[in-house]
Structures are given as C-alpha cells and as structure tokens.
Amino acid sequence: MNQVLSADAAMARAIECARLGLGKTFPNPIVGAVITSATGEFISEGFHQGADHAEVVAINAAKNIPAGVIIYVTLEPCNHQGKTPPCTQAIIAAGIKKVVYAVGDPNPIAAGGGEYLRASGIDVEQGLLESEAAFDNRAWITKISKERPRITWKIASTMDGKVAAADGTSKWITSELARADVAVLRSQADAIVTSTATVKADNPLLTSKGAGKNPVRLVMGGSEIASSAQILNADAETIAIKSRDLQELITLAQARGFNQLLIESGPTLGTALLKAGLIDEVVLYQAPTFFGSGTPSISDLGVATISERLDFEIADVEVIGADLKITLIKSANQEEGGR
Amino acid sequence: MNQVLSADAAMARAIECARLGLGKTFPNPIVGAVITSATGEFISEGFHQGADHAEVVAINAAKNIPAGVIIYVTLEPCNHQGKTPPCTQAIIAAGIKKVVYAVGDPNPIAAGGGEYLRASGIDVEQGLLESEAAFDNRAWITKISKERPRITWKIASTMDGKVAAADGTSKWITSELARADVAVLRSQADAIVTSTATVKADNPLLTSKGAGKNPVRLVMGGSEIASSAQILNADAETIAIKSRDLQELITLAQARGFNQLLIESGPTLGTALLKAGLIDEVVLYQAPTFFGSGTPSISDLGVATISERLDFEIADVEVIGADLKITLIKSANQEEGGR
C-alpha cells in the first residue's frame, strides 16, 4: 500500500514540489500538484518546469488513475489555452473527482478554473495552506499585482553594515557556505542585475555555479563592459542596459516576463532602487565581523530623521556556516508609500 | 513520590537555577545546586544570590536529607573559608554520598574541593554539562582568567549598521520588546558603562526598569554631568570616572570585583574598547530598517583591509518582537591578537 497523506500533508508536498520550479517557469508561476486516492493514498506528483503544467505532469506520472481521486494543486488550475491546453480539461478527462487548490489565480486571463470545474460536477475546495503557497509564489504574484517583477537585493555585509574594507577589499566577507547559498538564490531568480561599475571592479561571473539553471545577466550603467569580462562568457545570456534609468530595467523585465530579479551590485544601484520603492525584499548575509571604516552597504537614501526610515519585516533568519542569512520583506507601511 | 530526574536533567536544572543569580553574585560566580535521592527523586534546589552558597541553600531547603543522596552543582564546591564556611564541610555534614559538578573551579584560592571530598570518601564526578555551565558563568571565568571583568557591548542598530539617523534621532530604532530585553541584560550585569557624551545627548536612566536588580552606573569622560541628569538619581549607585583612559575603567572594575560590564554608549567608547581588544562579546539588537545615512554603530577601528577585520562568532540569534538579537563572542583568532 502506498503512503497515506492527510490533506495538509498532500498540499505541503505539492508546495515542496512547486518550489523546485523556482527560476524555471517565468513568465509563469511555480505550481506543484499531488494526486491521491479518495482515501489519501499517494499516487503521483509533479511540478511546472516551464513546459507542461503541474496538473498534467502529475496526471501523466500516474500509471493509471483509479476512480474518485483527489488532486492537490498549489494554484487554481488554469482555464485557458496558452502554450498548453487548459488544465481544467486535463483534470476532467482524467476522471478526477475532487480538486483542492491553495491560491486563487490572480491573473484574469487564466482565472475561472475553479468555477468551471465546479460547474462540471467536480468537488472543488480552495484555501488549504494558501498563505504558504502564496509566499513561495510571491515573485509571480508581485508581477501580476504590480506589473513588474519582484526585486530582491542581495547584500553581503559585516555586522556594522560594511560591504568592503577601507581599501576596497571584500573577498570574502562571508563564508563559503553562505556564498554557496547565494548560488542557489541565483538559480531561483530569472535575472541577476548588476552594474558596469561592479563588473569593472569585481569581474563577477554571476552564475549559479551548478546549483541550478543560470539566470539571465543584466548589466546597468553607461560604461563599456570590457570584452574580457567574465560576465560576457557563454554560461548564460547577458544583456547590457546602457543606462542608469531604472525604468529601462523595468521595461526590459516586463518585456521578457521575468518574475524575479536579484540585485547583486555595489551600493549605488541597490540604493537607487530602494529609494524608488522598488526593493520588495532584501536577503542580507551578515558575517560576524566588524570593519569600522569602509564602504557602507547602503548609500544616502534621503532619510533625514528616524520617522522617515524604510521599514522591512523579518521573514526568516538562518545561520549558514559562520554567517547569518536574514530575509527582509518590505513592510506594509513602506508599501503604502512605495509604488 | 517526587519527580525522578536523570543526571542530565538534574544538572540542567541546577544550571537553570544558577542563571537566576546573574548580576547578584559578584565578585563570586553564579552557582546552582540540585539534591536528589540515590534513585533520582527530586529533593531540593538552590542558587547563590551573593550570601549562602548554592550547596548550602539546597541543603537548608531540604526538610530532611535521607541517606545516600546526590548533589548536582554547576561549579566545584569550594574548599576554603571565605565569607562563608567551606561548602565541602557542609556537604560532608549533611551526609551526602555523591557529588556531581559541572565545572572545575579555576580560582586557585577556592579549588581543591573535589579532591577533598573524594579523600573524605564521597563519590565525586566532574564534567556533566560542563560547557553549558561554563558558558553561563563566562563573565566570572573571564574575570579569573584575564584578571578583568568580561566586557559586553550592547548595540541597537538598523540592518545597515546605523545607530542614529542623519539628524541624530535614535528613539527608538528597536521595538519595545527588544528594549525590555535590554533591561534584563542590565539586571544581569554588575555595572553599566556609558560616557558623559551619551549622558548629555540622551539623558539615560540605565536601570533595569524592574526586570531585576539595578547595576552600578559608571560614566566615563571628561565633561561634567549635569546635576539634573537622570543617571544621578537614587535608583542605583553612579560613579563618574573623570577620564577617557580605559585603564581607569579596568582598575575600578578590578577593585570592585565586577564580573560583567555592559557598555551602553555612543560609538566612541565601544570602538575604543573594541580596538583595545577589550570587547569579549557584542549583543546586537538589529531592527529591520535602513537609514542609509546617519551615525555608524562603530567608528574607525584602524582596519585598513579585509584581513585585519575583527572577527566574532555567532553564539545565539533570536527574533525579539520585530527585531533580531544577535549574540557575538570574540573569536579565537581575534582572542590571540587581543589581550
């Protein structure tokens, strides 16, 4: 007999499956699906990797689907013909009797799947582990709601907020394990954004070093990129945005359908985005060390007094090797003032 | 029947008891003791609060002590006549058959208790939960080994390492819960150290606000303290050290027998201590916010390049209210270079 899953466990597993798609699905959301028998016996699972939708992957993964099965999906099944036929049709054709989904589809083009399935006589439930599934899909949800990608700024600093010592040295502030974690973060982003100044100073590769797929590399700024720069190698696509205008970055990201941008540059670019209200999230790797002097992680934000500070909320804290990884999400207060 | 404790559980309880003495025992260590029957039934417990030693408190707390009991003590029972008679005598007089202690006494004057008890026919074991007990007693252990108190610097900063905004405002960077935790930290210190500049700028009270006993308040610096300053009120003793010479602080602390100093001041005093290798520990309260400009938490340390950085290790991380509390212990590397 197969493992028997509670509804919560089945959805939690679907959420875990979905997460494996991070960085592979843009312009689509991440989605995971688990099929169980009516009594909860595990049958199959799947996730969206950019081609077949999760529901179809899970249906195809099952050798045969007995009567009365339940499918758990992290997002409302789509009801429209896109690159693939509507998932609602595949669900009906497979003879699935019950659909449990976590998050309603906020995308007007694809929505209505739940209603359509219900009208077709299928038992439909919504909301199981909704906030957990929505949190993991926050890049795509940000894109739908703000019509621009979610923008995360990665910072590696000392505990006194310095990203380089007085002489400019910064290799390496954080430990090898923390840097390996950054590689995973890169693999989950659709594009990395850096500046011509950072390319010139550090000659970074900005790949995921085998931790997953490589993101597109976007380089902002007016300076030329040396033809010998590592960022121009064949590991991934690199696009030079020959401007400091943040709108050009947004326009390019919109055109490409990126869900998630990861900012990896000196303080200038990140500070400009933060000042413009465009930083949704900060992932701060902090090494337990102090420089005293050196380059501050953030340049002048125009914050003159404490009440003007830019508030975030701690979403997660993790000790990675010798360092801390702190995930900060823009707070509702700042969100109201931002765009 | 009373609760039956394993040896580990009994010692863990003794360690918890000991911790209740933090801030109350200087110049002595904190010590906790638990008495159980030979089969582990809980009989009594006690901790040192500055008068009777923990062993004696636990012995006196037992209505009657049956034959063959075991005492668990966090520190080796003392063997000398100090303010009170030797604990070894009290243990023998009580008819205790077995003594389990965590940490050997590093203080040559009081040591030898384990050996004396063994010679008196008592079963003696050492080392149970030794590192846990030693960690909690690190202030006193530092004082014995370095012949100066342990010095902890409390910092409340933003995630970009600022302790005040551009206009000097800093009330409040951290949340009320974090500030309540600082009050506990103060109650566990023997003395708080601040500067005349901080007294002038912030007019702090520096008491533990009812969280425990109030520490002695030490004010360093050449300026006069206004007679209206809150720090001169009757809540606790206040000593003006009319100098910026760190040696005067150390000499005073040695004379008073302080185990633990807590630094709460602007960046100047803390930076001077850090530069001198005198900061053993940093407790960093970080609010999830950014100022960009403003006052850095640490002034110039003379760190010119990354290899000269001052390394710590993360001993603990805790989310307190909206903020992070990070406990950093001076790393072995830095320790070698420091004094």
Mean pLDDT, rounded, for B164-168 = 96
Question: Chain B within 8 Å of A300 (Cβ-Cβ)?
Answer: yes
Lowest mean pLDDT among A174-178, B36-40, B110-114, B207-211: B110-114
Contact A158 B158 (CB under 8 A): no
Mean pLDDT, rounded, for A289-303 = 96
pLDDT the model gives residue A35? 98
Q: Tally C-beta pairs within 8 A across A and B.
A: 161
pTM of the model: 0.93
pLDDT the model gives residue A46? 97
Mean pLDDT, all residues of chain B = 95
Q: Which residue of A has its CA nearest to B164?
A: A306
Cα of B201 to nearest chain A Cα, Å = 16
Q: Is a pLDDT exceeding 80 seen at residue A335?
A: no
Q: Is a pLDDT exceeding 80 seen at residue B187?
A: yes
Question: Chain A within 8 Å of B296 (Cβ-Cβ)?
Answer: yes
pLDDT the model gives residue B336? 59
Contact A158 B160 (CB under 8 A): no
Q: Is a pLDDT exceeding 90 seen at residue B250?
A: yes
pLDDT the model gives residue B338? 41
Mean pLDDT, rounded, for B241-269 = 97
Q: Is a pLDDT exceeding 90 seen at residue A23?
A: yes
ipTM reported for the complex, 2 dp: 0.91
Whether residue B78 is annotated as binding a ligand: the answer is: yes
Contact B301 A314 (CB under 8 A): no
Whether residue A266 is annotated as binding a ligand: the answer is: yes
pLDDT the model gives residue A1? 61
Q: Is a pLDDT exceeding 90 seen at residue B165?
A: yes
Query: What does the DSSP 8-state code read for residue B40?
Result: -
Q: Return d(Cα A92, Cα A81) in angstroms, integer.
A: 15
pLDDT the model gives residue A104? 96
Would you say B277 and B339 are in contact if contact means Cβ atoms under 8 Å apart?
Answer: yes
pLDDT the model gives residue A83? 80
Contact B290 A298 (CB under 8 A): yes
Q: Which residue of A has its CA nearest to B271?
A: A292
Mean pLDDT, rounded, for A45-58 = 95
- What is the percent of chain A with per-residue pLDDT over 70, rounded to a whole number? 98
pLDDT the model gives residue B1? 61
Interface probe with A: pick from B155, B159, B162, most Cβ of A within 10 Å: B159
* Chain B residues touching A173 at Cβ < 8 A: 306
Cβ-nearest to A298 among B160, B306, B331: B160
Contact A292 B303 (CB under 8 A): yes
Whether residue B296 is annotated as binding a ligand: the answer is: no
Question: Chain B within 8 Å of A277 (Cβ-Cβ)?
Answer: no
Whether residue A153 is annotated as binding a ligand: the answer is: no
Mean pLDDT, rounded, for A211-227 = 95
pLDDT the model gives residue B81? 82
pLDDT the model gives residue A332? 76
Select the more confidently predicted residue: B67 or A314: A314
Mean pLDDT, rounded, for B175-183 = 97
Whether residue B85 is annotated as binding a ligand: the answer is: no
Mean pLDDT, rounded, for A302-326 = 96
Mean pLDDT, rounded, for A229-252 = 97
Whether residue B153 is annotated as binding a ligand: the answer is: no
* Three-state secondary structure readout of chain A: CCCECCHHHHHHHHHHHHHCCCCCCCCCCCCEEEEECCCCEEEEEEECCCCCCHHHHHHHHCCCCCCCCEEEEEECCCCCCCCCCCHHHHHHHCCCCEEEEEECCCCCCCCCHHHHHHHCCCEEEECCCHHHHHHHCHHHHHHHHHCCCEEEEEEEEECCCEEECCCCCCCCCCCHHHHHHHHHHHHCCCEEEEEHHHHHHHCCCCCCCCCCCCCEEEEECCCCCCCCCHHHCCCCCEEEECCCCHHHHHHHHHHHCCCEEEECCCHHHHHHHHHCCCCCEEEEEEECEECCCCEECCCCCCCCCHHHCEEEEEEEEEEECCEEEEEEEECHHHHHHCC
Q: Which of B32, B39, B167, B13 is nearest to B97 (CA)?
A: B39
> Two tokens at B109?
């004057």
* Chain A residues touching B304 at Cβ < 8 A: 165-167
* Chain A residues touching B307 at Cβ < 8 A: 169
Cα of B130 to nearest chain A Cα, Å = 24
pLDDT the model gives residue B294? 97
Q: Is a pLDDT exceeding 90 seen at residue A82?
A: no
Contact B288 A296 (CB under 8 A): no
Contact B328 A271 (CB under 8 A): no
Helix, coil or strand: residue B137:
coil
pLDDT the model gives residue A272? 97
Indicate if A248 belongs to the active site: no
Mean pLDDT, rounded, for B196-200 = 95
Q: Which of B12, B37, B33, B38 is nearest to B21 (CA)?
A: B33
Given B16, B45, B55, B115, the catalytic residue: B55
Q: Is a pLDDT exceeding 70 seen at residue B337?
A: no
Contact B171 A306 (CB under 8 A): yes
Cβ-nearest to A159 among B289, B306, B328: B328
- Residue B339: pLDDT band (50, 70, 90) is very low
Q: Is a pLDDT exceeding 60 seen at residue A97?
A: yes
Q: What contacts B195, CB < 8 A, 6 or more positions away? A: B219, B220, B221, B265, B266, B268, B269
Encode pLDDT of A98-115 as tens digits. Answer: 999 999 999 888 789 999
Q: Which residue of B has its CA nearest to A296?
A: B160
CA distances from B47 to A261, B53, B290 (A): 56, 7, 43
Encode pLDDT of A222-236 as tens digits. Answer: 899 999 999 999 999
Mean pLDDT, rounded, for B77-106 = 92
Q: Is a pLDDT exceeding 90 seen at residue A337?
A: no
Q: Is a pLDDT exceeding 60 seen at residue A132?
A: yes
pLDDT the model gives residue B332? 76
Question: Chain B within 8 Å of A273 (Cβ-Cβ)?
Answer: no
pLDDT the model gives residue B335? 64
